[in-house]
Amino acid sequence: MKVEDFIKKIKSLGITTIAGVPDSALQPFCNYLNKAEHGFTHFVPANEGAAVGLAIGSYLATKKPVCIYMQNSGIGNTVNPVTSLANKAVYDIPMLLIIGWRGEPGKKDEPQHRFMGEITKEMLDVMEIPNSILSLDTTPREAEEMFARAGEALNDYKQYAIIVKRDALESDMAVVYENAHTLQREEAIAEIIKSISPEDVIVSTTGKISREVYEQCDKITGHHKQAFLTVGGMGHAGMIAFGIAQERKDKRVYCIEGDGAVFMHMGELAFLGKQGAENLVHICLNNDAHESVGGMATGAAGQDFYKIAKACGYGYVSCINDVEMLKEELTKINRQSKPAFLEVKVKIGARPELGRPKESAVQNRDSFMEYHFPEIL
């Protein structure tokens, strides 16, 4: 289906506000929202649950349902506000969910998408959200019927979900996402890895950052056992790093996150600053965008994360945007005995041939644990 037609159908439901977190399976849709004159009020909140909150508020003030878009992994973030607020047992608030289907059964995808891919429809059914699947084969008539069902559900105060298969939406619009920075994210990652001692721990975030950490570790140290890749659970790498840091004070723990991930569960900053872990180094590679899934700007683009970290109690904070400053800061950070936060302003973009982890997630877990903590095995 052409993305323009899809957008028209959403509008035909009386929807004027749209909010979400981008997904690569929804890339033509996300590109359209970024570049075209679509006429919606559009927001990219911290996470998908926050988008549900926005939808509830907007409905209360206008009586118009909001459209929320997300990757199916984001359903997890919506469960609480949908089940305990929007559901008919509570405030009965209609909203339209557009959900990119990663891990569709029978299609090859990454391990973090497999289970949620299998249970996506079931999750919606359990949450009493009527739903339909949009695929490449959906005929115009079927799409018409799907939106008619969505309209009825919204009129009946229900949420309605359209699960969108990869390739279901098409567009000829090419969008280039840019910012004003010059440092390549992967170059910054290479410098960070070079500065870290072999006994120190790396925890990296969801998306291409982990794929770059994996490849740069191989290139620089000859293996990738030093790093735990937070391939799913976007926004939780900081807490994973802290979980390790508080158990093993003899090791410095480096958390390497993107700005989208830090933003997604930013409450962690207040917690981590307050804990005062002397061995925690939190690095935010800030490109103001969700680059891994296309490049859409985050709803916090332009914010200085290091200032937020400072206010949250991190003992050492800094912000840099070139490789020489990065090297200097990494040397200083290695001498700190207070939680440190380094914001690195980076360009949007990645190598097109960037690989993916070759082992299973469990194999990577085991080799990480064997490398760092052989005594517990």
Ligand X SMILES: Cc1ncc(C[n+]2csc(CCOP(=O)(O)OP(=O)(O)O)c2C)c(N)n1
- Write out the residues near ligand X by the rule CB under 6 A: 21-23, 71, 73-74, 77, 185, 205-209, 234, 258-261, 285, 287, 289-293
C-beta closer to ligand X: residue 22 or 339:
22
Q: Using DSSP, how many helices (H) and how many strands (E) does the chain show?
A: 14, 14
Residues with Cβ within 8 Å of 319's Cβ and at least 6 positions away in sequence, in order, are 304, 305, 306, 342, 343, 344, 345
Comparison of 47 and 58: residue with beta carbon closer to ligand X: 47
By beta carbon distance, the residue nearest ligand X is 258
DSSP readout, 299-364? Answer: TTTT--HHHHHHHTT-SEEEEE-SHHHHHHHHHHHTT--S-EEEEEE--S---TT----SS-HHHH
Residue number, 143 or 272, with CB nearest to ligand X = 272
Return the amino acid letter for 29.
F
DSSP three-state, residue 258? strand
3-state secondary structure of 211: helix
Q: For residues 347 and 182, is the Cβ–Cβ distance under 8 A? A: yes
**Which CB sits closer to ligand X, 143 or 237?**
237
Q: What is the DSSP string of 40-63?
A: SEEE--SSHHHHHHHHHHHHHHHS
DSSP state, residue 278: T
Distance CA 367, CA 124 (A): 36
Q: How far is the CB of 137 from ligand X (least distance, A)?
A: 25
| Helix (H), strand (E) at residue 268 | helix 267-275
Of the pair 143, 203, the CB lying nearest ligand X is at: 203
Q: How far is the CB of 292 from ligand X (least distance, A)?
A: 3
Question: Closer CB to ligand X, residue 122 or residue 172?
Answer: 122
Nearer to ligand X, 48 or 329 (CB): 48
- To 10 degrees, what angle do helices 3-12 and 140-155 make? 30
- Min. distance of Cβ 77 from ligand X in angstroms? 5
